Amino acid sequence: MLEEEQAVAVATIVDAKGSVPREVGAKMVIHPLGRHLGTVGGGCGEADVIRAGLDVIHDGIPRTVHVDLTEDISMNSLGVCGGIMDVFVERWQGGGEGGPPGGRTE
């Protein structure tokens, strides 16, 4: 997936309240073309994290994405958990020893 010294974004769930699809510490690696490895939960929230990851790859500025899964409950959406989570997104550049920050993704 990665070429040596290629920049990617690493997204990590750092806080969760209520029912969320993944636990604190879950990670996702985002490739510059939008592909990803791992998941932070799927759906619209994950799409927001992927967009933020692409921005982080481009500008190098880490950010936290607030994912509110309570908003769609009134729409009776299937698979909506109803919790809130914060996902920290940072840039990682290959070429050194070791992998992305925090180890493996699932």
Tally of domains in the chain: 1
In a domain, 99, yes or no: no
Average pLDDT over every residue of 12-23:
94
* HEC string for the chain: CCCCCCEEEEEEEEEEECCCCCCCCCEEEECCCCCEEECCCCHHHHHHHHHHHHHHHHHCCCEEEEEECCCCHHHCCCCCCCCEEEEEEEEEECCCCCCCCCCCCC
What is the rounded average pLDDT of the residues 14-43? 94
Q: What percent of the chain has pLDDT over 70?
A: 75
**Which residues constitute the domain of residue 38?**
7-93
Determine the pLDDT at residue 82: 82
Summarize pLDDT for 62-102 with one digit per residue, the tens. 999 999 988 655 555 555 678 999 999 999 997 655 555 65
Residue 106 has pLDDT above 70, yes or no: no
Query: Considering the domain boundaries, does residue 100 fall inside one?
Result: no
Flag whether 21 is in a domain: yes
Residue 103 has pLDDT above 90, yes or no: no
Is residue 87 one of the residues assigned to a domain? yes
- Tell me, yes or no, if the pTM score tops 0.85: no
